[in-house]
Chain A
Amino acid sequence: MKFLARRVGFYAITAWAAVTLNFLIPRMLPGDPVQSLINRYQGSIPSSAVHSLYVLFGLDTKKSLWQQYVEYWQQILHGDLGLSFVHYPTPVSEVIAQSLPWTIGLVGIATIISVVGGSLVGVYLGWRRGSWADGIVPVTTFFSSVPYFWLGLLFISLFAVTWRWLPPGQGYDTALTPGWTPAFVGSVLQHALLPALTIVLSSVAGWILGMRNMMVTVTSEDYVTVAQAKGLSERRVMFGYAARNAILPQVSGFALSLGFVVSGTLVMEMVFSYPGIGYELFQAIGGKDYPLMQGIFLVITFSVLAMNILADIVYVILDPRTRQEA
């Protein structure tokens, strides 16, 4: 378990780094975000809030940087991320709590489909290297070179505007009241289909290619040849010997690329006006809502860390060597 302990230690450091970055960025960058906000809202911000804004942005010059840092940590640990401007006076934590389930549902399922499906296709392509199936590689490369959001735009224009098969955006039909009714759940699924499809299509290429290349490398190892020579069935050699070893870098790659994946899907939500965290971020950018932006950054970082821990647990299960070290 030494491996897991080391990893958890690393994540603790990363979490600290993220919070500290979040604390330092508004204090190090030039400009006065509070003044530009007050100008922007033209007096609709009450004067009592102005001071708390300065405190929030760390422009409260009466206190030392260290004092501010300690107070910032106290706020974070109490779950207090400040008040949102766009949804004034709702606390940022509440805004995020409302939108997080949508993101987890959409991005989580789409990412799982993409990773599992992509790895399976990669296993096959790597095993049959040089066959017609290699033709899939350039096609998937094209999809991965296209920015996520542009594919989303294209799909909206084709499936939603031209052919009218699927709704162009939003999380559900606004005519329905949210609840566990069949009509509402159906509407949610219908609305999630297009964004999920786009996420899968644009992220699956990396998994296919990574798995294929690892399969190609692993299958020329001696133990694969020995397994073949023993007369084991091809399926057994493919999955039990080759794929099991080829998947290890894929799992650690998954943990590391989560940041990219999440970033891409955030933009996807913006395109589809999907009521998740990405769309909130989009609104926050439009309204210069710094507390909301920073809160979202923290929440996303922490979720990515949590998923990383999960990936590490999977790694320990797959690779016996990590267990022996203890």
Chain B
Amino acid sequence: MSNMPLDVVPVDAAAAAESAQVDTVVPSRQRFVFLRGAKAITGLVILGVFAVIAIVGPWIAPYDPDEMTADLLVHPSWHHLMGTDHLGRDIFSQLIVGTRGVMIVGLVAGVIATVLAIAVGVSAGFLGGVGDEVLSSLSNIFLVIPALPLIIIICSQLSDAGNFVVALVLAFTGWAWGARLLRAQTLSLRRRDFIEAARASGEKTWRIVWFETLPNLTAIIASSFISTVTFAVLSQTTLAFIGVTSVSDWSWGSILYWAQGNQALARGAWWWFVPAGLLIALLGMALSLVNFGIDEFVNPRLRLAGLTPREMRRRKIRPRIGFTVVAKDAPRAVARPAVVPVTELDEPADESLPADAVDAPTGFEPPASLRRSATPDSTGPADHEEAAR
């Protein structure tokens, strides 16, 4: 999971060399700065734990997940941490072994779909005209057609749908949303001064796309990668649960498939279906935490102003949008940096901190080169409506 797109500290020699040559590229130390918020880091840590389990799972599982014993449907105990199923198989081991399938499908589908989304979205944004019309109708068609029935049709006609086949099918059906987001952002980037300048100075198109546009899209690409992974994980689980994919491969969904098929509900065997669902929820939460981190970076208006709700109540501040709330105990108003919108609350009382440091608990200062894409107008209503057309 902690592969390239999610690396927090990318120490990439090639990237460093590039940035040394091209000074418009974000310096490599500041890349992925959108993954530094508290939410994003929490999410990444959880993802890391799942990734480790996915790699070492089969070796650390206490039992063979397929091994049948005489302990049928026993409650969780020290012997069987999460009980056993109707054939006496250890559910804890099934969960650990099943992590790999879920993570592989999520990662592979996410990577392929993101590559597709970049190819379609960015070229639609750059081509304009008929090419744009065709490519964006293509992605809209894939958005409108309900994915799950389509996936079911494809997977059930492939006689033995393994993890990679499922991942391919999910990537094929799940790339459209990312393409749409990337197209909208590319359109707004295309008219910015620095792109115009690059074009005027005779840069080749591929160079403008690769070195001027893509670095400014990193946050959106990461966010659409995360969304696709979420979609893939949920779909994989659903497919396994309804028995479309091979039920002999362990995954969280196939545990639920066996539980549902063997009346776990009516027998009151909660340990059979509760843990698998909680794991899926935990993985989904981790992914959305990372995405929230990215969202708050892209749209600074979503950041909280550094005061917790309790703190505000204590100071009798009634938060309301559209106005700057004046904290009564603030000694003086401090000018905010340009990126921080008017909705920010005024300085907390601590005068010794420089203005930038106040942002530290909630967000972080975007690097100057990325600030362009983070200005509120890029995510304002105008863009949303443009995307809606």
List residues of chain A with CB under 8 Å of any chain B CB: 10-11, 13-14, 17-18, 21-22, 25-26, 29-31, 33, 36, 126-132, 134-135, 141-142, 144-147, 149-151, 153-154, 156-157, 160-162, 168, 213-221, 224-225, 228, 242, 245-246, 248-249, 252, 255-256, 258-260, 262-264, 266-267, 270-271, 281-282, 285-286, 288, 290, 293-294, 296-297, 300-301, 304-305, 308, 315, 319
Contacts and interface: CB of A to CB of B under 8 A. Distances in A.
Contact of B141 (A17, A213, A286): A17
Given A146-B284, A256-B143, A285-B244, A297 B150 contact: yes
A248 B385 contact: yes
A130 B307 CA distance: 8
Nearest to A226: B322
Contact of A300 (B146, B268, B284): B146
A154 B148 contact: no
- Give the interface size class of chain B: 35 or more
20 contacts: A11-B144, A25-B153, A130-B304, A132-B313, A134-B304, A142-B285, A145-B230, A147-B237, A147-B277, A168-B266, A213-B295, A216-B343, A228-B322, A263-B146, A285-B152, A290-B153, A293-B149, A293-B156, A296-B149, A301-B146
B322 A157 contact: no
Interface of B: 137, 140-141, 143-150, 152-154, 156-159, 230, 234, 237-238, 241-244, 256, 259-260, 265-266, 268, 270, 273-274, 276-277, 280-285, 287-288, 295, 299, 301-302, 304-305, 307, 309, 312-313, 318-323, 341-343, 345, 376, 379-381, 384-385, 387-388
A319 B281 CA distance: 37
Contacts of A17: 141, 145
B302 A216 contact: yes
A156 B265 contact: yes
A156 B370 CA distance: 49
A6 B358 CA distance: 49
B265 A161 contact: yes
A149 B385 CA distance: 33
Contacts of B277: 146-147, 150-151, 153-154
A121 to B, nearest CB: 15
B82 to A, nearest CB: 16
A133 to B, nearest CB: 8
A219 B376 CA distance: 13
A25 B173 CA distance: 13
A245 B381 contact: yes
B341 A220 contact: yes
Nearest to A245: B381
B296 to A, nearest CB: 10
Contacts of A144: 284, 288
B381 A218 contact: yes
B321 A219 contact: yes
Contacts of B376: 217, 220
A149 B146 contact: no
Given A130-B304, A130-B305, A130-B319, A142 B147 contact: no
A20 B266 CA distance: 43
Nearest to B342: A220
Most buried by A among B230, B244, B384: B384
B321 A145 contact: no
B243 A217 contact: no
